[in-house]
Homo-oligomer: A and B are copies of this chain.
Amino acid sequence: MGDRPARGATLEDVARVAGVSRATVSRVINGIRNVDVEIQEAVRRAIAATGYAPNRAARSLVTRRAGNIALVVSGSPGASDGFSASVLTDPFFGRVAAGAVDFLRPLGIHPLLMLADTDQAREDVVDHLRQGSADGALLVSTHAEDPLPELFVRAGVPAVLFARPATPSPISYVDLAHQDGAKLAAEHLLARGCRRLATITGPLDVPASQDRLAGFRDAMARHGHAYLPILEGDFKQESGETAMERLLTEHPRVDGVFVANDLMAQGALLVLRQHGRRVPEDVAVVGFDDSPPALACRPQLTTVRQPVEDMAAEMARLLLSHIEDAGRDPASVIFDPTLVVRASA
């Protein structure tokens, strides 16, 4: 019964116990064939006997691969209670993380969670990548004009974005056909008889918000509806409340609202009820995302589903291919939204 903490057995130790060379042990560990079955067995036994666990750093040093990737969320320093809290607590981000994790886990790859809400933080992220802490990055930007994509291409760091960057960059991204989604919402609202429509948008400096608005407006116009009140929010619940409040005073006869995400729609629903408006009878509401809050509402939200988890998985797939082949050209993959009809419209 030895009991020293045994500062880790090395390949050398295993080799000695198994009576073979380090190279051979390395081969069986890395699943390279051309190793006698008998010897494989011996090696395995030696590994078990020594409690050997390969040293990641040593391996990375020679393979030039960290074996994990970075999941970075970039934004501007949250006004009040911190960027970290608001973003990590946002169900949308949770879905992105879940999608990436589920795809990566079977591959033995884990995401390094990094937030970049200041220039300093962004620089740190780039440094970490350059130092090889991670082999590439999955990037979710929460604001337009994020300098990070550009920093990544400049540093030669493999990266994939969630959503098309505001300024063109030679970098891969995954996105949703936002306009199509908005169109789905418009047609559903129109079909159920709404005639006085309005929309609560996301921050208008981000492409996704612009696209959802454009898609909704175009679809309305195509159906002859020239006028569309527009209220701008910031994708958080409270802004949905504020916007709906204003909408109700400025356009009291509104009978249908397209809200650019579920969190704001949730806030809108709250205000609607407070004002005694029945949903969907008096005012129909369609959200966007199909995130958990859509189910937490009463009535439950009719919403445009964005397959976030699948999109995140695709990001990971793309990233891996860029890591594999550094010369690969940037690619974009666009997903289709679907309408999930529940009780609010």
Contacts and interface: CB of A to CB of B under 8 A. Distances in A.
Interface of A: 5, 8, 53-58, 60-61, 66-68, 70-71, 82, 84-85, 88-91, 94-95, 97-98, 101-102, 105, 108, 110-115, 121, 124, 127-128, 130-133, 156, 237, 266-267, 270, 273-274, 291-293, 295-296, 298, 309, 326
B121 A105 contact: yes
Nearest to A273: B298
Contacts of A124: 105, 108
A53 B127 contact: yes
B114 A110 contact: yes
B115 A101 contact: yes
Given A88-B95, A105-B115, 19 more contacts: A5-B156, A53-B131, A55-B61, A55-B131, A56-B128, A56-B132, A56-B133, A57-B58, A57-B132, A82-B98, A84-B97, A84-B98, A88-B94, A94-B94, A101-B115, A112-B113, A237-B295, A266-B296, A296-B296
A85 B131 contact: no
A131 B54 contact: yes
A285 B280 CA distance: 28
A273 to B, nearest CB: 7
5 contacts: A56-B128, A56-B133, A57-B60, A71-B113, A85-B94
B57 A112 contact: no
Given A156-B5, A296-B266, A112 B68 contact: yes
Contact of A132 (B55, B89, B291): B55
A111 B234 CA distance: 28
A286 to B, nearest CB: 19
B115 A112 contact: no
